[in-house]
Structure 1
Amino acid sequence: MKKMSWAGLMGFWLTAAVILMLTAGSVHAADEKTYQSLKLFADVLEELKNNYVDEVKPEELVHNAIKGMVGNLDPHSSFMPPDAFDELQDDTKGEFSGIGIVITMKDGILTVVSPIEGTPAYEAGITAGDIIVKIDDASTKDMAMWEAVKKMRGPRYEEVKITIIREGASAPLVFTVKRDLIPMTSVRSAMPAPGFGYLRITNFRMNTLDDVIEQLSNLEKQGNGLKGLIIDLRDNPGGLLDQAIRISDLFINEGTIVSIKGRIEKNNQVFKANPNFPERNYPIVTLINAGSASASEIVAGALKDNSRSLILGTTSFGKGSVQTVQPLDEGFGLKYTIARYYTPSGHSIQAKGIEPDIPVEPGTVEEVPKDNSDFELMLKEKDLKNSLKPEEDETKNKKKSQKDAEIEKLSKDVQIKRALDILISYGVFSKINVTN
C-alpha cells in the first residue's frame, strides 16, 4: 500500500465522517459527537500542518494520534510500528537477545512484572514490582512499552544500563546488565524427597506443554510413582493461552478451566477439561507470587477452583485481560484488549490476582549452627560410653552432582519447604484410620 497523500488523508477523514452520517439514517447524538470529534481532529491536523514552527509530516501526526488513542485504553493495548510488531513475534517463538524481563504499564509507569529465571536481569537482581525510570540515559516517562522493549534488546554481550526505583530503597538502583540469548527452555523438574516431585514452569511458550509432559513423565517413573507434586509458577509472567489451558487439563478430568468474556459475543469462550488416562490423582501444591501473571494465573485459578491444588505463596499479579493482535497495512500492528479471564468459580483475575490458600512470604531456611551449645545439652545415644558406631554412609564422601546441588537449593527455599511439608503430612494423615 502506498503512503497516503495529504489530500488523500483529509479526504479519508471527511469521507469517514460522511459515511457515519449516512449509515445512521437519522443522526443520533452519539453519531453527531463522533462527527464533531472527527472534524475537530481534521481541523487540528490542518492547523499544525500549516502553522507549526517546524515542518511536520501529517502521517506522523496521525500515527502519534492513534498511538495515544490506543495507549490510553489500558496498559496492554498498543499501536505498533512495523519493527515493534515484528519483535512481538519473538516473545513466543524464535530466539532473541535481551535482558529477560517482562514489563507492563502500571498507572502509566513502566513496571517489571517479573524477570525470567536464568536470564541476565534475573541474575542481576531485578525483581517483580521494580519501576524502570531510565534505560541507559533515556527517561521512560511517556515511553511506549514497545520502545522500552526495543531499547533493552540488542546485540548479545552488549551492556544496557537500567535505573529502577524499588519500594523500601532510599535511592534509585542502577543495574548494568549484559544482554544474552533469552532461553527458550521453560520447564525443569527435580525430586526434593522420595516420591515428591517438583515442576518449575518459568513461562508458557510454544513447546511448554511438551516439556511439561516429558518432565512429568520422568518424575512419575521414578520409584513407585509420585505421592505428591509441587508446581512452581513464581515469577512466571505468562505467555500463550492455549499452553496454559492444556497444561491445566493434565491435572483436571472434568469441569471448567477458564472462561473468557467480552463485549462481543464472538469473543466469549469457555474452556473445559477432558478426562486423563491415566488419571493424576496425587495431591498438588502450587506456588505463586506477585510475579505470577496472565497464563500462570489461569493455571493456578483452574487448579484451585477445581480443588486439584492448594495454592501457597503470595497474591499473584492480577493480569486478567485478553488481547488480540491485528496486522495492519504497511507492517503496522494493533494489539488491544477484547475480553477478561474468569476462573471456574466466576472470579475475575483482573487487578485482583489469585489469593493463596496459605500465605507464605519468600525466604531462606536458616541453618542451625552445629556448635551451638543450646542444642547440645541433651544426652544422645552417640554420647554414651562404648555406644555402637553408626554404619558408614556410602554417599557421604561422594562429590555433589548438579542435581544434588539443585535439591539442596530447593530445600533452603521457605515456600518450597512448606509445600513439601504439606504434601508429606497429607500422605501421613491419609494412612491414619480414624475410628469412633
Structure 2
Amino acid sequence: MKNKKFITLGFASITVSLALLFSTNLFAYTEAAKEVKESSRLEALAKFTKVISIVEQYNVDDITIEELMDKALQGMMSNLDAHSNYLTQKDYKNLKVQTNGEFGGLGITVGLKDGALTVIAPIEGTPADKAGIKAGDIILKVDNQSTLNMTIDEAVSIMRGKVGSPIELTIVREEEPKPLKINIVRGIITIDSVYTKSIGNDIQYIRVTNFDKKVIDEVAKAIKKRKATTKGIVLDLRNNPGGLLDQAVGLVDIFIDNGDIVSQKGKNKADDEVFTASSQNTLTKVPLVVLINGGSASASEIVSGSLQDHKRGIIVGQNTFGKGSVQVVLPINEEEAIKLTIARYYLPSGRTIQAIGVKPDIEVFPGEVTTNKNDFAIKEADLKKHLEEELEKVDGKIEEDEAQEDSKYIITDEAINKDMQLKVGVDILKALIITKGL
C-alpha cells in the first residue's frame, strides 16, 4: 500500500511538474510571438514613413504630406475589397446628404464587379430607368471622365448633382457591339419601395424595389388586406439593390415560421449574429414564387436565398449580383471616415452570397412571350360576353380613366406576356395552387 501510494503521488507530482513546464514554455512562446509581431509592425510603419518622406522630397510635382496621406489611405482601403473606402471630407459630407437629405441624382445603384463600375440596378421610375439604363451595364465614362480605377464613392459623387442638370454616361452592354452614350437629366429621387397588384382573382403580385424602413409594414398590410382571396404570391425582387438588413429578415419572417434566416460572421466575435424566424410574425403559407435577376443584390439575395434554403418558394429568373458583405462607416474625426467591410452574410445552409449570388431554381431570361394568337379568335362560349364588352367600348361605357385606374392594381394577360420571367413564375404558381388543391 505504501509503495502504491508513493507511486501515485510520484506520478501526480511528475504531472504537475510537466504541466508547469508546458505552461511556462507556452507563456514564453506567446510572449516571443507578440514581440515578433510588434517588431514586424514597427518595421512596416518605418517602411511606410520612409516611402512617404522619399515621395515628398523627390516627386516631380509639389505635394503636401496631407495629400500623400489621403492618397495612401484611399489606396489602402480600396485594395481591401470592392466596398471598403476612405471617405474624405467631401465624400463623408456627400454620404450624410445621401442618407439624411434630399439630393439630385440618376436613380441607379452601382458596385464594382471584376474591377469595373457596374450598374447593380436602376431604380424604377427614376431618370436612369426612363433613359434605358439596365442592370449589368458597365459605366465606362461619366461625361468625359473615365471610371477606370475610380472608387464607388467617387463615381457616386460625380453622378450626383443639381436637379435638372444633364449628364452623359458611356456604357458597355453585353449584347451591344459598341459602347452606348446615354444622356440623362438629374432629378429628385423619390422611391415607392413596395407596391402590389392582382393577377386574376387569386394571385397577389408584390414588388419590392428596395429595402427601406417601410418594407415589412407595407408588405404585411398588403398580405392581410387580400388574405381571404389569395391562393399564391409572386414576390418580385428584380433590380432590387438591397437596403436595410432588418427589413430583409422581417420579410422572410412573414413567410417562414422557424429556423435561421441569415447569419453574419466577422473577424470580431462581437460582429457575429444569427437572425431567426418567429411563428408570431408569419402571415401566410400560400405557394410562393420569387423573381430575381442580376440587379438583385444584398438584402434581395438574403431574402431569395433564405427562402430557397427553406424550400419555401420557387426562385425564378437569373443569377443575382453576388454582394454578401456587411459595411459600416467608422468616423476618424468629425469630417472624415472609413467605410469598412466587417462581416459576411451566410444563408441558413451555410453558403455565402459573396461573389457567387443566388442561383435560381428555374433559369429564365427576360423577353416577351411570342404567340400567333389571333386577338379575335375566341371560343363560342365567350362570344356573347366578348361582343358585349366590345359594344361597351363603342358606347363609351368603359371610360379611359377607369381603365387606367384598373391598370394600377391589375396585371393583365397582355402585360404578363411581355414579361417572360413573370409569365413563367405565374404558370408555376398556378400549377402549385392546383397541386395543393387550393
For residue 315 of structure 1, what is the aligned residue in structure 2?
319
Matches within 5 A, 1:389-404: 392-393=388-389, 397=393, 398=398, 399=400, 400-404=403-407
Instruction: Tell me, yes or no, if structure 1 residue 134 matches structure 2 residue 130.
Output: no
Kindly provide the amino acid, as one letter, of the partner of residue 262 in structure 1. G
- Structure whose CA Rg is larger: 2
In structure 2, the CA distance between the partners of 1:311 and 1:389, relative to structure 1 (3 Å rule), is closer
Aligned equivalents of 1:325 and 1:219: distance in 2? 40
Question: Mean Cα displacement is larger for which, 305-314 or 359-368?
Answer: 359-368
Q: Secondary structure at the match of 2:279?
A: coil
Matches within 5 A, 1:30-69: 30-69=37-76
Q: Secondary structure at the match of 1:156?
A: coil
Alpha-carbon deviations, 1:156-201, whole Å to 9, x = none? Answer: 1111100011113221100000111112321111002111100000
Superposition deviation, residue 211 in structure 1: 2.4
Kindly provide the amino acid, as one letter, of the partner of residue 180 in structure 2. L
Q: Secondary structure at the match of 2:411?
A: helix
TM-score w.r.t. the length of structure 2 is 0.84
In structure 2, the CA distance between the partners of 1:256 and 1:153, relative to structure 1 (3 Å rule), is same
In the alignment, structure 1 segments of 5+ residues that lack a partner are 1-22
For residue 428 of structure 1, what is the aligned residue in structure 2?
434
Superposition deviation, residue 389 in structure 1: 8.3
- Choose from 183, 190, 199 the match for 1:192: 199
- Choose from 253, 268, 279 the match for 1:264: 268
Aligned equivalents of 1:147 and 1:300: distance in 2? 31
In the alignment, structure 2 segments of 5+ residues that lack a partner are 1-29
For residue 254 of structure 1, what is the aligned residue in structure 2?
258
Kindly provide the amino acid, as one letter, of the partner of residue 418 in structure 2. K
Contact kept, 8 Å, 2:252 with 2:261, in 1: the verdict is yes
Alpha-carbon deviations, 1:8-41, whole Å to 9, x = none? Answer: xxxxxxxxxxxxxxx9777644433322221121
Aligned equivalents of 2:132 and 2:249: distance in 1? 31
Kindly provide the amino acid, as one letter, of the partner of residue 137 in structure 1. N
Matches within 5 A, 1:281-430: 281-370=285-374, 381=380, 392-393=388-389, 397=393, 398=398, 399=400, 400-404=403-407, 407-408=411-412, 409-430=415-436
Q: Could you say what the CA RMSD is over the residues aligned between the two structures, in angstroms? A: 2.6
Percent identity reads 42
Instruction: Tell me, yes or no, if structure 1 residue 98 matches structure 2 residue 105.
Output: yes
In structure 2, the CA distance between the partners of 1:65 and 1:396, relative to structure 1 (3 Å rule), is farther
Question: Mean Cα displacement is larger for which, 41-50 or 400-409?
Answer: 400-409
Aligned equivalents of 2:33 and 2:305: distance in 1? 48
- Choose from 155, 175, 181 the match for 2:182: 175
Contact kept, 8 Å, 2:223 with 2:283, in 1: the verdict is no
Kindly provide the amino acid, as one letter, of the partner of residue 82 in structure 1. Q
- Choose from 229, 233, 241 the match for 1:229: 233
Q: Secondary structure at the match of 2:169?
A: strand
Contact kept, 8 Å, 1:93 with 1:205, in 2: the verdict is no
Alpha-carbon deviations, 1:343-370, whole Å to 9, x = none? Answer: 1111111111111111111112235352
For residue 162 of structure 1, what is the aligned residue in structure 2?
169
Aligned equivalents of 2:38 and 2:142: distance in 1? 43
Superposition deviation, residue 55 in structure 1: 2.3
Aligned equivalents of 1:84 and 1:47: distance in 2? 28
Contact kept, 8 Å, 1:93 with 1:206, in 2: the verdict is no
Aligned equivalents of 1:277 and 1:143: distance in 2? 43
TM-score w.r.t. the length of structure 1 is 0.85
Q: How many residues align?
A: 399
In structure 2, the CA distance between the partners of 1:427 and 1:274, relative to structure 1 (3 Å rule), is same
Aligned equivalents of 2:362 and 2:77: distance in 1? 39
- Choose from 149, 153, 156 the match for 2:156: 149
For residue 13 of structure 2, what is the aligned residue in structure 1?
none
Contact kept, 8 Å, 1:100 with 1:115, in 2: the verdict is yes
Kindly provide the amino acid, as one letter, of the partner of residue 329 in structure 1. N
Q: Secondary structure at the match of 1:250?
A: helix
